[in-house]
Structure 1
Amino acid sequence: MSFLENLNLGHGFRKYFRIDAALGESLHDEVYRIRHEVYCEDLGFEPVRDDRRETDAFDVHSLHCLLRTVGEPFRPVGCARVVMTNPDDRDSLLPFEHVCAEVLDRSIIDPSRLPRERIAEVSRLAVRRAYRRRKGEERQEINDVGDEDFGTAQQPRFPYIPVSLYMGSIAIAARQGVDTLFVLTEPRLAAHFARLGVRITRIGGPIEHRGTRVPSMIDVQDVIANMRTLMKPLWREVHAEVEKSFEAAPD
């Protein structure tokens, strides 16, 4: 990681990308179009829709982040959403609670016993095929970070796209007063994020859900307080851009 330790990840991010909280109708439309391209057309996880927008019932009480390239015009790269509990029915379940009811280890954490307004879930992380890893992998999902994403000693690199989308989700969660974020991901995610000083705790057994997935949790304030020095410039950049989105949003 010596190359990365000498790299200001905030500068690197700002050179190529911008991230926003997608708060207006036009940005929502971009998010839903990315999701349709990835989840419906590329991966076949959801049916193709005539309007080419992928949405579901959870979007009504979700906040979204949108990653785009810098320069004019901004080109959409990827998105993620933070699903809040339904403000009209706090006892309604988050998506992972439906899917993982039988595998959750409630001795680690029991979502049903937490203040429902202070929990949320990161889901629908989607990256357009042109930005998904390497040649030959354009039709693979990207919600994980693997060893290969850091390149080699000869050609090191940093996985800006998935990491910044998770960071954007954490920034949104922190602003909304969320303490605990849940996420359903590939089993190796926690180990790879640990390299970056981001602790993701597994809270249940594996399930088959578009591949093998495990339920995990992120302590929002723990991640922010204990982030590695390497990651802080990237976090500051992402956090500042998300905050600007909220400040510029119409009332």
Structure 2
Amino acid sequence: MSLLDRFSLGEGFRKYFEVVSAFDEDTRNDVFGIRHEVYCEELGFEPIRPDRREIDTYDRHSLHCLMRGSTEPHTLVGCNRLVLARPEDPDFPLPFEHACRATLDRHIIDPARQPRGTIAEVSRLAVRAHYRRRKGETKTALALSDDDFGTEEQPRFPYIPIGLYLAVIALAKHEGIETLFMLTEPRLADHFAKLGVKITQIGGPIEHRGIRVPSMMSVDNVIKGLRFFVKPIWKVVREEIEAGYAQSGRPDFLPEP
């Protein structure tokens, strides 16, 4: 990517990718299919399912993002989800609250004491193998490293992981979510700092498909703090997410499996 391209990331993203609010059954099945391909068939994190859809109990109160190639025919690239509070049981813990219950530093923040309609969790980020074939990426569902940002002489940009994160932030903003939680690789905060995004670690590390740390970020602070060269891609991604709401409206949650 040339230095000039770095300052037109929105057009660069639009040229190669699009993000879709997975509000209908077909696009949700694309999401579940990517997750099965990555988490079940390739990495072995979850058991193989006869219908080749990786689904868990949190999906029925989650919103999903799908990333596709923008050329015809559309190619599936990756996905993620925004886990919201259960409408019928708002105090039901989010996934990270289960996994990190022994390591959370509740002096920083106690998720259980937050208004449940204002918090959510980013999870199930997955990118298909074809798009993460570099050394060190084959054993993880989504990777981000220093090399993704290139050098001053040869800058480049990690469209896929950043596009997926920005898409779920756009979903969260639309839903009125104030604080996002996630389990991240320890160095993700350093990588995101390059974009102007502040991620705060809120507890000790756990073993969860590798070493992960519980973290949080403020949705409004992320949007306000984005560096100038990231704002064009944020504009494109948010427009695409909002288009999904305009076309379909907010989907109902899925029924209990």
**TM tier relative to shorter chain:** over 0.9
Query: In the alignment, which residue of structure 2 is the partner of 1:23?
Result: 23
Query: In the alignment, which residue of structure 2 is the partner of 1:182?
Result: 181
* Structure 2 unmatched ranges of 5 or more: 251-257
Q: Given the superposition, is the C-alpha separation of residues 194 and 5 from structure 1 closer, same or farther in structure 2, using an over 3 Å criterion?
A: farther
Identity %: 57
Query: In the alignment, which residue of structure 1 is the partner of 2:230?
Result: 231
Query: In the alignment, which residue of structure 2 is the partner of 1:216?
Result: 215
**1:81, 1:123 within 8 Å by CA — same for their partners in 2?**
yes
CA deviation vs aligned residue, 1:29-78 (integer Å, no higher than 9, x gap):
00000000000011110011111100000000000000000122111100
Query: In the alignment, which residue of structure 1 is the partner of 2:113?
Result: 113
Q: CA deviation at 1:149?
A: 1.2
Query: In the alignment, which residue of structure 2 is the partner of 1:74?
Result: 74
What SS does structure 2 have at the residue aligned with 1:229? Answer: coil
Count of residues in Structure 1 that have an aligned counterpart in Structure 2? 250
Kindly provide the amino acid, as one letter, of the partner of residue 64 in structure 1: H
Q: Given the superposition, is the C-alpha separation of residues 27 and 5 from structure 1 closer, same or farther in structure 2, using an over 3 Å criterion?
A: closer
- Following superposition of structure 1 onto structure 2, how do residues 24-43 of structure 1 map, counting pairs within 5 Å? 24-43=24-43
Is it true that 1:145 corresponds to 2:139 in the alignment?
Answer: no
Q: CA deviation at 1:144?
A: 4.2
What SS does structure 2 have at the residue aligned with 1:156? Answer: coil
Query: In the alignment, which residue of structure 2 is the partner of 1:61?
Result: 61
**2:181, 2:216 within 8 Å by CA — same for their partners in 1?**
yes
**1:186, 1:212 within 8 Å by CA — same for their partners in 2?**
yes
Separation in 2 of the partners of 1:88 and 1:69?
37
Separation in 2 of the partners of 1:35 and 1:191?
26
Kindly provide the amino acid, as one letter, of the partner of residue 79 in structure 1: C
The TM-score normalised by the length of structure 1 is 0.95
Q: CA deviation at 1:140?
A: 2.5
Separation in 1 of the partners of 2:34 and 2:77?
8
**1:87, 1:117 within 8 Å by CA — same for their partners in 2?**
no
Separation in 2 of the partners of 1:57 and 1:35?
14
The TM-score normalised by the length of structure 2 is 0.93
Q: Given the superposition, is the C-alpha separation of residues 223 and 153 from structure 1 closer, same or farther in structure 2, using an over 3 Å criterion?
A: closer
Q: Which moved more, 1:136-145 or 1:52-61?
A: 136-145
Q: Which moved more, 1:140-149 or 1:33-42?
A: 140-149
Kindly provide the amino acid, as one letter, of the partner of residue 244 in structure 1: A
**1:144, 1:185 within 8 Å by CA — same for their partners in 2?**
no
**2:77, 2:128 within 8 Å by CA — same for their partners in 1?**
yes
Query: In the alignment, which residue of structure 2 is the partner of 1:45?
Result: 45
Kindly provide the amino acid, as one letter, of the partner of residue 167 in structure 1: L
Query: In the alignment, which residue of structure 2 is the partner of 1:241?
Result: 240
RMSD: 1.8
CA deviation vs aligned residue, 1:123-179 (integer Å, no higher than 9, x gap):
000000000152x45523143421011234554321000001000000000100100
Q: CA deviation at 1:247?
A: 0.5
* Structure 1 unmatched ranges of 5 or more: none
